[in-house]
């Protein structure tokens, strides 16, 4: 999610009435596989009856409900014929650990099995929370996998940090519910395969606001859990969303869930094709040691070191092809960073005001700093990679994979800054020359990224 497509501060603080709730659409789709019935009469704010008690929430009914503001949230007025339960969530964890054996190794080596099972089985979840997790499981099943993983690993991090049992339970709940807001977004956006438009990205970003708004209504959910849901995409350097909070204004629980959210994405998406394990995350963690709370970063590092896992020994691969690809990616990154530094992008962006302007400055500073620290744009690296294309050496595989991971992170950071640009450059109180130079610089960055994508 980019800064340019963020909700405004006012929208966030006021609960964002502009966010349209699409939960009824998801219920209608669930109704195709099981009965979703109205448990009460559903009326709008003017008292007009929209759906009688006992009616199915089908597509036609959902379309009608979407056109009105209801007296009660629709989740309070429906029931599902079949719902998941705590046992389902625990069995889902066991299934995930079977799919990813390194998860099971972590689980067993840290003697976490009994504590974890007790938390999964005994935590009392409200019927409405169970309903929404059921809909998530039906509609966006990968999200329920991430929710279960996040509940487990967030709790494990909390334990590693020496947090008490109560705080560990809060971490469990925050991990389990951190993306619950997604099921209030339009299915058409969630299922879209093509690149999202700015307004669609803005809708995706709103899931943290929706999640907090929803959880704040339930007395059984601790306020710190709702806050963590809101903050799990915020970062210590102020480059996160929805409101660019910095380290001094963030809670520890949100940072735990935030790092877990990133870890799950890297492990299940980037690593699977190379049979890599969680321990191979160490370069990513080191690059982001200041992105999250330092004690959270250290806790994750300590967990991985205590498991006995080792860096994956890469399987045989086409060294020449890998080296050629990394040369292209490193060159594109180098060109983009050189352009940003030559044009003084940090000085220019520092003149911008407001959340969006500050976010662009912080994102630009972050990617320039991380690139310099990584050493991935040095001439020595390019020379070494070029030598590998001429004389492939299989002993270099492990290092090539590490470079690949680091480049993934840097290109993501660069792309995020690039996509933040347009909205940040609409300020009337900034000299036109400053805006022109910034726009010109980021147009070159965009060309670097686009050319690289075409070549790959």
Arithmetic mean of pLDDT, 338-366: 84
Distance CA(91)–CA(240), nearest Å, equals: 33
**Do both 425 and 386 map to the same domain?**
yes
Tokens representing residue 228 in the block: 């963590």
Q: Which of 256, 280, 306 is the last residue of a domain?
A: 306
Distance CA(186)–CA(27), nearest Å, equals: 12
pLDDT higher than 90, residue 200: no
pLDDT higher than 90, residue 440: no
pLDDT of residue 11: 47
Range of the domain at 296: 86-306
**Do both 151 and 285 map to the same domain?**
yes
Q: Angle, to 10 degrees, between the axis of helix 432-455 and the axis of helix 319-342? A: 170
Q: 């050493």: which residue's tokens?
A: 375
pLDDT higher than 70, residue 5: no
Neighbours of 270 (CB within 10 A): 17
Tokens representing residue 18 in the block: 């502009």
pLDDT higher than 90, residue 262: yes
**Do both 189 and 278 map to the same domain?**
yes
CATH of the domain at 277: 1.10.3210.10
pLDDT higher than 80, residue 316: no
Q: How many CA atoms lie within 13 A of 54 on its CB side?
A: 0
Could you tell me which residues are beta bridge partners of residue 322?
none
**Do both 256 and 140 map to the same domain?**
yes
* Residue 314 forms part of a structural domain: no
DSSP 272: G
**Do both 135 and 251 map to the same domain?**
yes
Number of domains in the chain: 3
**Do both 188 and 302 map to the same domain?**
yes
Q: 275, 367, 278: which is closest to 316 by C-alpha?
A: 275
**Do both 225 and 323 map to the same domain?**
no
* Residue 339 forms part of a structural domain: yes
**Do both 289 and 358 map to the same domain?**
no
Lowest mean pLDDT among 80-94, 106-120, 190-204: 190-204
Q: Which of 245, 278, 306 is the last residue of a domain?
A: 306
Average pLDDT of the chain to the nearest whole number: 88
pLDDT of residue 14: 43
* Residue 313 forms part of a structural domain: no
Q: How buried is residue 418: exposed, middle or buried, by Cβ count under 10 Å (0-12/13-18/19+)? A: buried
pLDDT of residue 413: 82
pTM, to two decimals? 0.84
Lowest mean pLDDT among 54-63, 293-302, 443-452: 443-452
Sign of CA dihedral 312, 313, 318, 320: positive
Lowest mean pLDDT among 195-199, 222-226, 252-256, 434-438: 195-199
Q: How confident is the model at residue 15 (pLDDT cuts 50, 70, 90)?
A: very low
Q: Which of 48, 80, 112 is the last residue of a domain?
A: 80
**Do both 36 and 117 map to the same domain?**
no
């Amino acid at each position: 999610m980019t800064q340019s497509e963020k909700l405004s501060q006012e929208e966030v603080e006021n609960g964002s009435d502009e966010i349209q709730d699409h939960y009824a659409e998801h219920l209608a789709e669930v109704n195709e596989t099981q009965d979703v019935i109205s448990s009460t009469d559903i009326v709008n704010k003017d008292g007009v009856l929209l759906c009688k008690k006992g009616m199915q929430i089908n597509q036609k009914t959902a379309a009608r409900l979407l056109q009105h503001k209801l007296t009660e949230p629709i989740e309070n007025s429906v029931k599902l014929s079949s719902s998941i339960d705590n046992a389902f969530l625990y069995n889902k964890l066991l299934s995930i650990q079977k799919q990813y054996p390194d998860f099971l190794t972590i689980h067993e080596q840290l003697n976490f099995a009994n504590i974890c099972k007790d938390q999964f089985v005994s935590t009392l979840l409200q019927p409405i929370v169970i309903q929404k997790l059921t809909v998530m499981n039906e509609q966006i099943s990968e999200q329920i996998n991430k929710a279960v993983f996040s509940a487990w690993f967030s709790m494990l991090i909390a334990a590693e940090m020496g947090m008490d049992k109560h705080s560990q339970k809060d971490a469990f709940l925050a991990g389990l519910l951190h993306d619950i807001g997604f099921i209030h977004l339009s299915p058409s956006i969630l299922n879209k395969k093509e690149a999202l438009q700015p307004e669609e990205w803005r809708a995706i970003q709103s899931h943290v606001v929706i999640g907090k708004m929803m959880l704040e209504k339930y007395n059984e959910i601790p306020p710190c859990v709702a806050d963590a849901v809101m903050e799990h995409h915020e970062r210590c350097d102020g480059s996160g969303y929805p409101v660019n909070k910095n380290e001094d204004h963030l809670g520890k629980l949100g940072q735990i869930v935030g790092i877990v959210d990133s870890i799950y994405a890297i492990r299940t998406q980037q690593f699977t094709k190379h049979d890599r394990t969680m321990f191979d995350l160490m370069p990513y963690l080191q690059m982001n040691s200041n992105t999250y709370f330092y004690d959270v970063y250290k806790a994750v590092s300590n967990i991985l070191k205590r498991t006995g896992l080792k860096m994956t020994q890469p399987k045989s691969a086409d060294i020449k092809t890998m080296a050629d690809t990394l040369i292209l990616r490193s060159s594109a990154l180098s060109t983009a960073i050189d352009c940003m530094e030559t044009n003084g992008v940090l000085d220019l962006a520092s003149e911008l005001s407001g959340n969006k302007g500050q976010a662009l400055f912080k994102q630009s500073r972050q990617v320039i700093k991380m690139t310099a620290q990584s050493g991935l744009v040095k001439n020595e690296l390019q020379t070494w990679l070029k030598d590998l294309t001429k004389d492939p050496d299989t002993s270099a595989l492990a290092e090539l994979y590490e470079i690949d991971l680091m480049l993934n992170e840097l290109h993501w950071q660069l792309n995020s800054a690039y996509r933040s640009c347009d909205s940040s450059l609409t300020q009337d109180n900034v000299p036109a020359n400053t805006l022109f130079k910034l726009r010109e610089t980021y147009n070159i960055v965009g060309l670097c990224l686009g050319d690289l994508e075409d070549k790959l």
